[in-house]
Structure 1
Amino acid sequence: SPLGEAGLAQDILPELALARQAMSIHTEWAKSLSELTGVDTQHRFRPALDIAFSEEEVALGKSQVEWRSKEDGYRSEWLDGNQAREIVPAISKGVVGAAYTEGVADLDPYRLTLALAQACESMGASIRHGEVIGMDQANGKVLTILTANDRIQCESLVLAMGPWSGIISKWIDAKVPIRPLKGQILRLDAGDLEINCSVGWQGSYACTKPDGLLWTGTTEEDVGFNETPTPSGRDSVIESLTKMIPNLEEARIVEHTACLRPLSADGKVIVGPVQNRTNVFIASGTGRKGILLGPALGEIICDLITFGQSRLDIEPFRLSRFQN
């Protein structure tokens, strides 16, 4: 959702225009990618219910409703605890209120990636797998990418390396302050229990996906490039889940996964040209919002390469802000 997982309007305002545009593209892709590739990305609109257990959380939730309700395409209202339980009966009796928002959506990230890859290949793109080990450069321009087995010439180079973006610093003579932020997710067989919207609380969420499983997460761990799912991560996710939805004694963990997100030093996206290379561009630093913001970053990079400028304002997101 462009409206953010939590917090006040000013917390996400710098990226709000990017998020609005990305959401629009996602909606278009839901149809066009399916028609082009036959892959169903499972994009669907469904409401969000951000629950509150304390007066402090109530105050935050009401402030969310106040500004969310002013956004075109969304409807948001404040519910008391009983009204919230009418929508999701399984939530805790300790819930005293909730921000209910319509207009948000979700999808399956693996299916989206698969559909995009197939669509690109059908239009002539070549996807190669391998580790980049260096670059041939001259006069401020990257000429060739070196892998262990290949040399790839390039007119333009896009650095979309996720949490590994920081390693590029030594090759482009610029700081790329990106570090990995680990997140762990559980998928559970909850029997007949179906959560028909995305229940959220303090950065955690739970919802039933089209695969019939209850997806819940997620952790935020600063542990380097460790992608291994851990018992402590599992327990942390379960603790938040059972705080939101307590009666899950019969639920069974089907899958436990972990991922790394690219987090910039100031928490904002990094997108745009690399200032000391004439043909190099970067798109990274999306944190927990990578799936949401990806289409907008792609459009920005496409605009810059094709037209030399972006339709969206990227001044707050340039890599140059870290080069003091």
Structure 2
Amino acid sequence: MRVKEEDIVTIANKLKTKSKVSPHELLTVKNGIMDNLRCIEVILNVHGALRGITRELTGRNAENKLAAAGCCCNLALGDERACAVVAKVMGSYLTTELDSLNNELAVTCAWALGNLAGSGRKACTVLTDQGAFAKLIHLLANEDLKNAAIYALEHYAYQMKDDLRPEHLSKMISSISQIGVNTETVRLLFILSCHNDFVTNITEDLLLKTLQYLPVSIVNNDLQLVYIIRTLGNSENYNFILNYFLSNNMNIAFKQLLAVDNAVLNNSLMWFLGNLYKYDASNIFFKSLLSS
């Protein structure tokens, strides 16, 4: 049964008056937003409603805290203007709750921050100043929270592009190196590889881990393979890459890849091989690759 906008208005007015609200009412707001994104404007237009949700998020009632975090997560699905408002009001509180001992609450807050970041640079700038992304980078080392942190950081890095702070770029690359290149981190690494300062920040250790993941992505033969190929190309450490390919007989795998009927993969692969060839056309890897 769809939630009616008038029900959201009623609860919003209750939130602004500091009246006691139930988990059910907060979940009604959460679900109402999913049913109809216009409900975001309803909440924003009731002065004090956002503060009321924040009050529940930071309160002592565990059920209300989690339900309020869910509201925040869905409120962060609005447009750039709406998300900038939500970020200003709620960003610092969502960041604080990342330290919660309740993993479900912490994960929901991380997803909310990711949704806000995905709206554009305005929200990203606000959240950066509030310390949200420094905290999310720290969470990459937390096995229970890392996937939610990766989700948020992907949106952040994508929106900020070369305006991503150098210290954030460096710390994210360092964290990925520690937890390894895998199904969860490969897309974030690719986004970071598009940054102007990626070449000066990627280490040979991380490059090696990326190369070692290449056979896994080849077996899967999906978009992750394109991410890996593009990341390797963006690293510009072509001597290291060619030496690895030679030592591991990667020419066989590349011959198989070149025969795959996939335009996106083929374009990325030819771009990558073209960069390697320009770097060292006489390398024996190409003789092996071009042999029948």
Query: Shorter-chain TM-score: which interval?
Result: under 0.3
Instruction: Identify the structure with the greater strand proportion.
Output: 1
Radius of gyration: which is bigger? 2
Structure with larger RCO (C-alpha < 8 A, sep 6+): 1
TM-score scaled by structure 1? 0.20
